[in-house]
Structure 1
Amino acid sequence: MREIYDWAGWFRELAARVAEGGETALIEKARQVDWSGEPELLKRGERGIDPFSFIYTLAQKNTRNQRPRVYPSVAKCFGLESPLSDFGNDDFYMFPTPPPNAAALFHDSKNFSPELLWRLFGQAVKDEPQIDPTTFRDVLKIRYVAQVKLTQALSLINPDFFVSVDALQHLPANKDMDLKGCDHGGFMSALNNAKRAFPGCRACEINTFVYSHYMSKPPLLKRESRFFQISTNAYGSDRWEDFDRSNAVYTDSSRQGGDPGLWETAPAGGDGRGSPYPLTEPARGDVILVRTGVRKGRAIGIVHRNDYAETDGLNDRSRLHVYWINKSEAGFGPGVQTDRVAFSEVTPTRSTYQAFRHAAAYQPTFMLIDKRDGNGPIGPRLPSHPLNQILYGPPGTGKTWHTVTHAMAIMEDREVDEVTQEDRATVKSRFDKYRDTGRIEMVTFTQNTTYEDFVEGIRPVLAGGATPGAAKPAESGDVGDDVRYELSRGVFRHIVDRAAQDTDQRYVLVIDEINRGNVARIFGELITLIEHSKRIGGDDEARVTLPGSKTEFGVPANLHVVGTMNTADRSIALLDTALRRRFVFEEMMPDETHPGISEDVGGVDCRKLLAAMNRRIAVLLDREHQIGHAYFLGVDKLPVLASMFRTRIMPLLQEYFYDDWEKIRAVLNGNGFVQRSGPPEELVRSNLVDADRAVYNLLPADDDRWTSPTAYRAVYETKASAEDGNATPAA
């Protein structure tokens, strides 16, 4: 998008040529231009042609039909060398444009002297304009001239310096100023505010951003705008100058010897494989943070167009076209480093985002990004996590495993899916650190868990020692010489107290197997306090006095509760109503397509095996007793599959079906693992049992059929040549 500001250089050169030639040359050349119809400019005589009226009339000819005729004619008449690109692309001509019916002249040709306009023009066209306040005021007194019209013309005469007041008015820094009635001082004050808000940017870049964001629908920046980061020198030479000139960023394929098939691949990790850059993901309005190395920021831009996202756009000619809104070069300070990958999305917890966010040079930009017309934050998407949630599903679906992921997503203000994609060991390491600092607590409910264990209660301790977390001695004092009783805090009281004293941080309590305990008895009256509206600071804040310590107690809004529930133990429909009403429930069912499940274990497709068994269990029992995919994770050899099936799957099926072996055989499609035989003949002869009574037995542990691929395939292949499971009756 190098051409987007070609108009600025073109108008800048035109203004310089007008200043060089003076009034006589302007009158002569203005009459030579092919205006595509006689403009009002030429109808008022020679003295009606002044530099402001000429420039403003030219800007009015800014349509796709007019540009190809008028602009080349002007360039020819004035001998301009600055290029203008595709006249049919409106993106290349985003400058202040008067409406077709607007008065383009800066006078009414009556009692008019052009010397005043030429004087102001001479002041404005300089590289460092020095506008005389009196001249500015006197021009505003001319009929048909007002603040918007005058400053729009100034922004065309010197696009590197001036921004029109209709654009300045939209900036949050100028929201309290009445610029449509301002004098020179008010205009310059608003202009300086704009330049502070867009460090290092030219006035034409500010104008374009304001037009694209504040004066267009939909606005450029959105509440859901995402953040991405890119390096200027990830592959050697620094590309910042090209980024700046072209108003675009890109990754480099030259490091791959020019191989176009590899240009979009990130550097290889420890496994020797790379991962694709998310180049197709940035959309219009997303934010690009540009850095050089890991210690220096270079710029911030807003995506205008993404070539990579177009059909066949993944090639080394594509670019991410941006509007620059900050071009400050700034170090990040001692010890601060960014991500090292050349291009990636960054969330608020990533080091690159934090480095830019806290660097003084980029503070004005984040203030701009965080507010739109002063209506509040529009920055990066911050996930909204429920205060109370329960992950529920059959055994082996990864509920406890996912509590770690959910807890980290809450702690770091991130999406759960984003955390899930990270290396598990890294996530678990961060989780453990939060546990060590007390910001995450874990507890498992059992049938024996009580209110005293969870909240607070009196516990016996040996004399001379105190229970960790003890509140204060009970009034009963000592009992005997060896035992004393103390009022001790439970895990819930501990984490609530810590969260209440540190409201700027999030805390998470993980309750595993929450449905195994008697929730009404464990929470007691505190079940009400975990409601969103009843939290401290909520619309209906509630507190209670704890019966043991007589302490006023409330639950802060920065404490999240994440529970797990095994539906094989108890259906969600049977849960305590108070619990169901206060928690959000997220179902976690078996995932037969999980990448950790092998499709070829000695000829056995474990995905099909799991899916076939679960289809039958859902019919013979219910969907809440299906087998979780976790049982099959890491199963890569037939002996491992056999051991897992014999020691884990078969006992689980026995528990599910209460030793109804015929249904277990049906789940396995009669594959031979469950042997059926008749009763001993002597019992039949003695009339102790019926002759048609079936006796069931599992295969012996050392039977070769446990490691037979045919036996497992028989579960999901109805035509497999498995044994029918019938054995010869014992004699």
Structure 2
Amino acid sequence: MKEIYDWVPWFQELARKIAEEDETYLIQKAKNQVERGGDPPLLKYGDEGIDPFSFFYFLASKARDKQPRKRVYNSVSSVFEIESRLPDTDIDDYYIFPTPQSNAHLLFHERENFTPDLLWRLFREAVKDKPNIGSDDFKNALKYIGVPKLTQTLFLINPKYFLPVDDRTYYSVETLGLPPLSEIVNKINKDDGYEEYKSVLKKLKKAFPGCEPYEINMFLYLQKSGEIKVSDNFFQISTNVDNDGKDHWNDFEKNNKVYTNPGHGGYDAAWRDCKPGDIILVRTRMKKGRAIGIVKKNNYDESEGLNVNSRILHVLWINKLERELSQHSMRQQSGFSGTSPKGMYSVFQKTDGYKPSFDLINSLTGNLTKNKSDLDDQQSGADTMTHPLNQILYGPPGTGKTWNAVNRAVAIIDGKSGNDLKEEIRKINEGESLADFERDKIKERFDKLTEEGQIEMVTFHQNFTYEDFIEGIRPVLASDERKDIEYKLHKGVFREIADQAREDSKQNYVLIIDEINRGNIAKIFSELITLIEPSKRIGSKKDETTVTLPYSQDSFGIPDNLYIIGTMNTADRSIAPLDTALRRRFDFIEMMPDSKHVSDNIDDVDCQKLLNAMNDRIRLLLDRERQIGHTYFMNVKRIKGNGEESLAATFKNKIIPLLQEYFYDNWEKIDLVLNCNGFIDKTSIDSNLFKNSDLIDEERKIYELLPDDDGKWEDPNSYQAIYEKGQGETSEAG
């Protein structure tokens, strides 16, 4: 990924060559370039119409598409004799900078108002390492062009000093304490506009310590476009790649990547878990911090499978300050691993120079109240930066959504990081030693926290209401003998736990909403849907919001230590109209069937292949949302018998009924999912049943499930036939 900034020296060399010469140099070169296949609008107003700003904006317009980019950029390299390497013009990712829309006006002037001296004066000052642009020149230029167009071109001319102020890269700046884009533009358009622009530049650069403006622009653009979504999972890595005392930081920085030597094992779990958007803390030994980066790509976890010989993370730097870490006596860390609030995360967070990056990450992830310097002094419940405040686990039936919700709830209360939780769940699901014991421990801990009121669990359904969830008036038996009933205010489950969390701000609280998509979200949450946003929570200190509840007239807000975990069954068709407001305010975590969690040998039946084969067919016949989850098979230990440990009983009592629901009792398709393994009898119609069979489709087949006592249910061959290649034979009676 080192090539993503190769356009910078190319543009800088071009700008300096033009600035060093007089105006005729650009005019002659531009006309020469046009003769090689350039753009006639550049010559619309003759020789004087070729000014440097219009020329650079014209170049940017040609970067949008591969063919014009290749033609024009190669031509400019040749005509201007640019020595800097031109990035591969076939790769869009190497040309991420402001590019005008296809219908944009490329020139910086109209003939009647054109002042070439002004633009040349601006240009020659802009190319300097420390530009000193005159306020009047900046103000006069804005009379003919807008703030976005001018600042975009200044950035192209000198990407090591300027930044664009436009709606493509301005997505995140409000989280940095800057006002909305429209307000910024209005201020820049005033008399002191250049000073205001420099103030914006200063604040943006302060938020990304040690980073170049082109690095800041890249991050903001990718965040706005959605290509990068910053998570709250932290990892730490050492620059001492080979444990030989050599510092590889220069290579890390230059090539925008971090790595470990493929010959050193022991980090596979961490490499597997690290995803785009996760945060990397880079250190040298245990005493020096080097940088903070955001993962853009993990070479180890490639689409075609794990590439164990390529432990490389491509990163976007958001902080490149070198600092002595605030704590030196901490325990030794491995070369690459996840880190929790008690580990390297806390050390970086407490070190002067890295705070702006944690402020930025907190803002982007919604953890606005969790950036506190005394993390180690908080109780174990205050595990921050590792779990989203609002999350929904979604997937087909049997993928472990409820179990994972329980796991996450306990982890939030007990201060476990997201990475610790992932590793714990992996061990349990993969059947490592003490798995049953660990499951029992988690369940026991969950029950205790529920009893103490730190965790609440509720299931949504069609009749669930605002009055059940928040508050309402309910009839009760009257204490007065003269009355039959009386009405009292009733607090719902959400208000109950929210009130407790607000009163006990040092502990985390969790509300689990099972089957969240089965309820009428708009009616259940009502006006409170806005209050669950991290920035609106009580304690956020940014935009905390309260409302007056309609029944009690109490002022109500949602505290920032209350986490909401929802589960959602994608096989339920009611997912389609899921409230848009809910989607926007929750992190959605997909949970799909994973056959590695089940046995590959149950009385000679490979349940992994069995599950995969059925799901492959279901995806083709239906969709990916209605597959069979792995948890249906996790407790299976034998074919024969009854109960969840029996494969035969699992099929008869769970799998077949589920397929009936999926396919609306279309037995022909159910038989296809089972690969015609013999569990379903296919019978032809007996035409003798009717005196007149003219209206009867004699070719129609009648499908019937085998009787429960049929021996095929306990025959390994019946299950092997489901995943064997080719088609089995459905028994047919004439």
TM-score (norm 1): 0.53
Partner of 1:228: 235
Which of 228, 233, 256 is equivalent to 1:247? Answer: 256
**How far apart are 1:73 and its partner, in Å?**
1.1
Partner of 1:344: 337
In 2: Cα distance, 1:154 partner to 1:212 partner: 20
**How far apart are 1:125 and its partner, in Å?**
0.5
**How far apart are 1:440 and its partner, in Å?**
9.4
What secondary structure, in the 3-state scheme, does the structure 2 residue paired with 1:163 have?
coil
Question: In structure 2, what residue type is equivalent to 1:278?
Answer: A
What secondary structure, in the 3-state scheme, does the structure 2 residue paired with 1:325 have?
strand
Which of 368, 375, 386 is equivalent to 1:380? Answer: 386
What secondary structure, in the 3-state scheme, does the structure 1 residue paired with 2:17 have?
helix
In 1: Cα distance, 2:310 partner to 2:501 partner: 52
**How far apart are 1:121 and its partner, in Å?**
1.0
Task: Map Cα deviations across residues 413-468 of structure 1 (whole Å, 9 max, x no partner).
Answer: 4465644678999xx9xxx9xxxxxx99999xxxxxxxxxxxxxxxxxxxxxxxxx
Task: Map Cα deviations across residues 359-380 of structure 1 (whole Å, 9 max, x no partner).
Answer: 3322211221222498968953
**How far apart are 1:2 and its partner, in Å?**
0.6
Partner of 1:411: 414
In 2: Cα distance, 1:155 partner to 1:32 partner: 25
Distance 1:139 1:557, change over 3 A: closer
Larger Rg: 1
Distance 1:20 1:318, change over 3 A: farther
Which of 77, 89, 104 is equivalent to 2:91? Answer: 89
Partner of 1:333: 326
What secondary structure, in the 3-state scheme, does the structure 2 residue paired with 1:99 have?
coil
Distance 1:406 1:422, change over 3 A: farther
Partner of 1:13: 13
What secondary structure, in the 3-state scheme, does the structure 2 residue paired with 1:165 have?
coil
Distance 1:110 1:420, change over 3 A: closer
Contact 1:339–1:351 (CA<8 Å) still a contact in 2? no
- For the pair 1:130 / 2:132, whether they are aligned, the reply is yes
Question: In structure 2, what residue type is equivalent to 1:248?
Answer: K
In 1: Cα distance, 2:450 partner to 2:311 partner: 49
In 1: Cα distance, 2:201 partner to 2:644 partner: 73
In 2: Cα distance, 1:155 partner to 1:344 partner: 37
What secondary structure, in the 3-state scheme, does the structure 2 residue paired with 1:26 have?
helix
Distance 1:500 1:200, change over 3 A: closer
In 2: Cα distance, 1:610 partner to 1:32 partner: 80
**How far apart are 1:207 and its partner, in Å?**
1.0
Question: In structure 2, what residue type is equivalent to 1:300?
Answer: I
In 2: Cα distance, 1:422 partner to 1:277 partner: 11
Distance 1:610 1:618, change over 3 A: closer
Distance 1:47 1:226, change over 3 A: same
What secondary structure, in the 3-state scheme, does the structure 2 residue paired with 1:184 have?
helix
**How far apart are 1:71 and its partner, in Å?**
0.7
Which of 182, 200, 211 is equivalent to 2:210? Answer: 200
What secondary structure, in the 3-state scheme, does the structure 1 residue paired with 2:296 have?
strand
Which of 264, 270, 284 is equivalent to 1:292? Answer: 284
Contact 1:295–1:337 (CA<8 Å) still a contact in 2? no
Which of 175, 181, 206 is equivalent to 2:179? Answer: 175
Partner of 1:697: none
Distance 1:539 1:201, change over 3 A: same
Partner of 1:371: 363
Task: Map Cα deviations across residues 551-606 of structure 1 (whole Å, 9 max, x no partner).
Answer: xxxxx99899xxxxxxxxxxxxxxxxxxxxxxxxxxxxxxxx999xx99xxxxxxx
Question: In structure 2, what residue type is equivalent to 1:78?
Answer: F
What secondary structure, in the 3-state scheme, does the structure 1 residue paired with 2:153 have?
helix
**How far apart are 1:313 and its partner, in Å?**
5.8
**How far apart are 1:615 and its partner, in Å?**
4.9
Question: In structure 2, what residue type is equivalent to 1:112?
Answer: F
- For the pair 1:307 / 2:316, whether they are aligned, the reply is no
What secondary structure, in the 3-state scheme, does the structure 2 residue paired with 1:66 have?
helix
Partner of 2:194: 184
What secondary structure, in the 3-state scheme, does the structure 2 residue paired with 1:279 have?
helix
- For the pair 1:36 / 2:40, whether they are aligned, the reply is no
Question: In structure 1, what residue type is equivalent to 2:57?
Answer: Y
Residues 113-122 or 277-286, more deviating: 277-286
Distance 1:612 1:383, change over 3 A: farther
**How far apart are 1:116 and its partner, in Å?**
1.1
In 1: Cα distance, 2:292 partner to 2:75 partner: 37
Distance 1:37 1:16, change over 3 A: closer
In 2: Cα distance, 1:295 partner to 1:341 partner: 14
- For the pair 1:358 / 2:350, whether they are aligned, the reply is yes
Distance 1:135 1:185, change over 3 A: same
Question: In structure 2, what residue type is equivalent to 1:242?
Answer: D
In 2: Cα distance, 1:298 partner to 1:69 partner: 41
Partner of 2:376: none
Contact 1:60–1:98 (CA<8 Å) still a contact in 2? yes
Contact 1:247–1:322 (CA<8 Å) still a contact in 2? yes
Task: Map Cα deviations across residues 602-627 of structure 1 (whole Å, 9 max, x no partner).
Answer: xxxxx9988878759999x99xxxxx
1:72-83 to 2 correspondences below 5 Å:
72-83=74-85
Question: In structure 2, what residue type is equivalent to 1:97?
Answer: T
**How far apart are 1:39 and its partner, in Å?**
2.9
Distance 1:252 1:377, change over 3 A: farther
Partner of 1:163: 163
Distance 1:22 1:383, change over 3 A: same
In 2: Cα distance, 1:82 partner to 1:285 partner: 31
Distance 1:377 1:73, change over 3 A: farther
Question: In structure 2, what residue type is equivalent to 1:296?
Answer: K
In 2: Cα distance, 1:385 partner to 1:40 partner: 52
Structure 2: 5+ residue stretches without partners: 371-384, 393-405, 442-447, 453-499, 511-537, 539-545, 550-558, 564-596, 604-634, 651-714, 717-734
Question: In structure 2, what residue type is equivalent to 1:162?
Answer: F
- For the pair 1:209 / 2:212, whether they are aligned, the reply is no
Partner of 1:102: 104
In 2: Cα distance, 1:409 partner to 1:329 partner: 32
In 1: Cα distance, 2:130 partner to 2:122 partner: 13
**How far apart are 1:113 and its partner, in Å?**
2.9
In 1: Cα distance, 2:136 partner to 2:9 partner: 29
**How far apart are 1:87 and its partner, in Å?**
0.8
Contact 2:327–2:347 (CA<8 Å) still a contact in 1? no
Distance 1:506 1:286, change over 3 A: closer
**How far apart are 1:321 and its partner, in Å?**
1.6
* Aligned length in residues: 459
Contact 1:411–1:507 (CA<8 Å) still a contact in 2? no
In 2: Cα distance, 1:616 partner to 1:377 partner: 45
What secondary structure, in the 3-state scheme, does the structure 2 residue paired with 1:33 have?
helix
Distance 1:321 1:414, change over 3 A: closer
**How far apart are 1:160 and its partner, in Å?**
0.7
Contact 1:382–1:413 (CA<8 Å) still a contact in 2? no
What secondary structure, in the 3-state scheme, does the structure 1 residue paired with 2:21 have?
helix
Task: Map Cα deviations across residues 375-402 of structure 1 (whole Å, 9 max, x no partner).
Answer: 968953258899xxxxxxxxxxxxxxxx
In 2: Cα distance, 1:296 partner to 1:14 partner: 38
Question: In structure 2, what residue type is equivalent to 1:10?
Answer: W
In 1: Cα distance, 2:501 partner to 2:123 partner: 64
Residues 63-72 or 318-327, more deviating: 318-327
Distance 1:538 1:190, change over 3 A: closer
In 2: Cα distance, 1:168 partner to 1:407 partner: 38
Task: Map Cα deviations across residues 204-241 of structure 1 (whole Å, 9 max, x no partner).
Answer: 11111111112x1x35225x553322221142321111
Distance 1:507 1:86, change over 3 A: closer
Question: In structure 1, what residue type is equivalent to 2:43?
Answer: L
In 2: Cα distance, 1:617 partner to 1:219 partner: 44
Contact 1:52–1:121 (CA<8 Å) still a contact in 2? yes
Question: In structure 1, what residue type is equivalent to 2:164?
Answer: S
Contact 1:266–1:342 (CA<8 Å) still a contact in 2? no
Contact 2:206–2:356 (CA<8 Å) still a contact in 1? yes
Contact 1:371–1:377 (CA<8 Å) still a contact in 2? no
Distance 1:43 1:125, change over 3 A: same
